[in-house]
Amino acid sequence: FKPLYDLDLTINEKIETVAREIYGADGVAVTPQAQKAIDEITALGFGKLPICVAKTQYSLSDDASKLGRPSGFTITIRDVKVSAGAGFVVVYTGNIMTMPGLPKKPAALSIDVVDGQITGLF
């Protein structure tokens, strides 16, 4: 086993490595808000932590409409936060909710009350 990147790389370099080597992106666009967060996280001494990329489950890009492993795209980094207790930096891409594992139609949409009885539970 060999890690994809060295922990001594900057957060930006780690993001670039994952985006290109794993997701097949042509490049990375970092919003001013995300860059400010990266700078603050680094200044606080958390810059050497590994990264965890939060993105859509439907695509290796940051765009859920580009299904699978598209090509010719740039990943947009919209925010970055440190999870110090867990020991990693979370990189947020595109327009996502951070609640994990929800299907396109959550089971809660099937729950109802009919004649005083709850229906639609598992």
Q: Is residue 120 part of a domain?
A: no
Q: Is residue 78 part of a domain?
A: yes
Asked if the structure places residue 73 within a domain, the reply is yes
Work out how many domains the chain is built from and give that number. 1
The CA-based dihedral angle spanning residues 54, 59, 65, 70, taken in that order and rounded to the nearest 10 degrees:
130
Considering the domain boundaries, does residue 117 fall inside one?
no
pLDDT for 58: 82
Length of the chain: 122
Q: Is residue 106 situated within a structural domain?
A: no
Per-residue model confidence (pLDDT) at position 95:
82
CA 67 to chain centroid, in Å, comes to 16
In a domain, residue 64? The reply is yes
- Tell me the residue range of the domain where 58 lies: 11-96
pLDDT of residue 101: 64
Rg for the chain, CA atoms, rounded? 18
Q: Which domain CATH number covers 64?
A: 3.10.410.10
Q: How would you write the pLDDT of the chain (122 residues) with one tens digit per residue?
A: 899 999 999 999 999 999 999 999 999 999 999 999 999 999 999 999 999 999 888 888 888 888 888 889 999 999 999 999 899 999 999 887 776 666 778 888 889 999 999 998 86
